[in-house]
Amino acid sequence: MPLSRPLRVVQWATGAVGRYALRNLITRPDFELAGVLVYDPAKVGRDAGQIVGLAETGVTCTDDVERILALDADCVLHMPLPASYFGNDHAGDVETICALLASGKNVITTTGFVYPKCYGPGVVERLESACRTGGTSLHGTGINPGFVSDFLPLALTGLSSRIDHLYVRESSDLKGHPSRQIVVDLFGFTRSAKDYTASVRPFRAFQRSLFAESVQFVADALGVALDEVEESDEFEIASEEFEIAAGVVRPGTVCASRWTFSGLVRGRPFMTVECVYKADATKVRRWTVPGFTIHIEGVPQMMLNIEEISHGLTGAASHAVNAIPSVCAAPPGIRTLLDLPLATGHGTVRLA
């Protein structure tokens, strides 16, 4: 049944993904923008529409967390940099999310939490307690994890009579990614090998926890008990100078990385997620071309290739925005993608 009123939504953070989400919230009639939390002092006090190139909305951006907590809103799109970027573990994000949930607002986050069970019963109970207090739900999502490494493999296994191994590969070209914080500070591109090794430690912790959630979620959904999730990573050095949106890559600096996460059963991988990131795919020949691949070994054998997602940031934002109605309608508690309707809805449909 259609909603009788637009859902009031807060946009928390307006970085590379958050700006796309904010545009969706402003332009779609099924949502009403309730507030915007920003980290950049230059955005404080500005109209939300101005920072994404749209007409004024009457909603002023703020960096006041208490003001956001006090708002009357149905949902918060929580899209900041992960706490690990600031040298912390996921506890910082847990604190913020719990406060939002307890204030009576559903939360959709892109900082992980696709399967909070991975963080242990203590974290799960804190989140569930906040949901009970606020009568709210939490949903973690994104494009990967949140869709490619969990939703799509599980959808394909509906055709399986036997599953031996699940393999998911993401290869991303970051040439046009506008965020220096992501590409340089978090991924470590444009840095020397020595600086990369030191600076990537927080990112390694984030990646390990993020994809361990995804692998564990898929295994549990299929009734498979994993013994552990193993992680490995390596990087590539540039042989020439080239420019990307986030800066200049010089010879001898890091220009690509490859991460592998394997859920093991008796020493053998049941599910493997491989993530390749390139500063510019036309300049980095090593490893695979951009796109996504899912390979299911078993009966029958299956392979799905997505050769290109032209606007990956838009996809990540849209997947979160499209989940808002389902998350708001769900019973209080932690909600994984299996608890929500197929792919949690869709965006605006325009017919020629």
SS (H, E, C) 202-250: HHHHHHHHHHHHHHHHHHHHCCCCCCEEEEEEEEEECCCCEEECCEEEC
Beta bridge partners of 9: 33, 75
- Tokens 């540039």, residue located: 238
Distance of CA 350 to the CA centre of its chain: 26
- pLDDT at position 190: 96
Beta bridge partners of 61: 36
The phi-psi region of residue 41 (left if phi > 0; otherwise alpha if psi is between -120 and 50; otherwise beta) is: alpha
Residue 154 confidence (pLDDT) above 80: yes
Residue 173 confidence (pLDDT) above 60: yes
**Model confidence band, residue 3 (pLDDT cutoffs 50, 70, 90):** low
3-state secondary structure of 154: helix
Residue 1 confidence (pLDDT) above 60: no
Taking the C-alpha atoms of residue 307 and residue 315, their distance in angstroms, rounded to an integer, is 15
| Residue 85 phi, psi (nearest 5) | -60, -30
Q: Which of 55-59, 111-115, 128-132, 270-274 is least confident?
A: 111-115
As a whole number, the mean pLDDT across the chain is: 91
Residue 262 confidence (pLDDT) above 80: yes
pTM above 0.85, yes or no: yes
**Model confidence band, residue 277 (pLDDT cutoffs 50, 70, 90):** very high
Taking the C-alpha atoms of residue 295 and residue 297, their distance in angstroms, rounded to an integer, is 6
Segment 331-348 mean pLDDT: 76
Residue 75: closest CA among 57, 49, 101, 95: 101
Per-residue pLDDT reduced to its tens digit, 302-321: 999 998 666 668 888 999 99
**Model confidence band, residue 87 (pLDDT cutoffs 50, 70, 90):** low
Domain ranges of the chain: 7-142+314-344, 151-308
Segment 114-129 mean pLDDT: 95
Q: Under CATH, which architecture does the 7-142+314-344 domain have? A: 3-Layer(aba) Sandwich (3.40)
